[in-house]
């Protein structure tokens, strides 16, 4: 158990809908990362938050947004869903004490299926 929790575990929805994925980082970790894992794109970085502020952005679509709250949990919002958004979404956390040498600890993921 990494200490990172994600809810829900599975999500099935229809095209055009909006969903929210939730992540709670490990105790003491200030930085949260979101990744998308799909068969065609592999594992791709979406966005990073540090202590409530957006720190880095990857290949995140404009239909997707995220935030990190004062209690450090994070939410990833996906809207106007398309079939191609079906994927496994991972959250990871790290303390962000040493930048590039930090280890990121991953949650179990949320499997999103768009029908």
- CA neighbor of 47 nearest in space, from 90, 100, 1: 90
Under DSSP, the state recorded for 14 is -
Q: Which is nearer to another protein, 54 or 82 (CB)?
A: 54
Q: Tokens 């239909």 — which residue?
A: 63
- CA neighbor of 64 nearest in space, from 55, 77, 53: 77
Q: Which of 76, 93, 107, 114 binds another protein (CB under 8 A)?
A: 107
Which stretch in 11-19, 20-28, 42-50, 71-79 sits in contact with another protein by CB under 8 A?
Answer: 42-50
Task: By CB under 8 A, name the binding residues for another protein.
Answer: 2, 33, 35, 42-45, 48, 55-56, 58, 90, 92, 96, 98-109
């Amino acid at each position: 158990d990494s200490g990172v929790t994600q809810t829900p575990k599975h999500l099935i929805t229809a095209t055009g809908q909006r969903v929210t994925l939730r992540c709670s980082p490990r105790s003491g970790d200030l930085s949260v990362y979101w990744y998308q894992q799909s068969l065609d794109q592999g594992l791709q970085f979406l966005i990073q938050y540090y202590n409530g502020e957006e720190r880095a952005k990857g290949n995140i679509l404009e239909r997707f947004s995220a935030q990190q709250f004062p209690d450090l949990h994070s939410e990833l919002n996906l809207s106007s869903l398309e079939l191609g958004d079906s994927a496994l979404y991972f959250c990871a956390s790290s303390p962000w004490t040493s930048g590039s040498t930090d280890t990121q600890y991953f949650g179990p993921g949320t499997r999103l299926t768009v029908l």
